[in-house]
Amino acid sequence: MGGALPYMKSSQKERTDNYKAPEARVPGSRPTQKWDVYSFGVVLLEILTGRSPESSPTTSTSMEVPDLVRWVRKGFDQESPLSEMVDPSLLQEVRVKKEVLAVFHVALACTEGDPEARPRMKTVSENLDKVGT
């Protein structure tokens, strides 16, 4: 894993860094399953919001979470309407609101700052299987 590949432009490296868990950005840290869970959570947030991890005007520093994760957490903390955060195409059917909210909760659990607070991938999979049933 390590640093950026030599042919990567810095903007490409910044984009891929947005998927890294905060603890994965520490030089010399060793990969864990919790890193993958975090990255999966970022991908879920991308799908739910229709935004890329770096879509916010603020920039991430080495130990900060991607702008998308911060933006969604802030939205939930401030109890923003779901319609302000979710990709409008996902809310076209009235009955999917509960399902979208359930997937947001899975994504937020995956992107917890503390790796020990993140679920195992098996739990993530089980929780996603329950959505819509």
Structure tokens at 19: 């998927």
Q: Which helix (H) or strand (E) holds 86?
A: none
Over the stretch 124-133, which tens digit does the pLDDT of each residue have?
999 999 997 7
For the chain, what's the residue count? 133
DSSP-derived 3-state class of residue 76? helix
Residue pLDDT, tens place only, 68-110: 999 999 999 999 998 899 998 888 876 788 899 999 999 999 9
Are residues 56 and 93 in contact, defined by beta-carbon separation less than 8 angstroms?
Answer: no
For residues 84 and 6, the model is more confident at: 84
Whole-angstrom CA distances from 70 to 2, 10, 75 are: 25, 22, 9
> Which pLDDT score is estimated for 132?
78
Please give the pLDDT value at position 94.
67
Task: Strands of the chain (E only): list them.
Answer: none
Verdict on whether the full-model pTM lies above 0.85: no
| 6 three-state secondary structure | coil
Domains (ranges, CATH) in the chain? 30-130 (1.10.510.10)
**pLDDT given for residue 1 in this prediction:** 41
Measured CA angle at 81 (ends 48, 55), to 5 deg = 45
Q: Taking all residues of the chain, what is their mean pLDDT, rounded to a whole number? A: 83
**Contact partners, residue 43, CB within 8 Å, separation at least 6:** 19
Question: Considering Cα of 130, then 118, then 35, then 38, what sign does the dihedral take?
Answer: positive
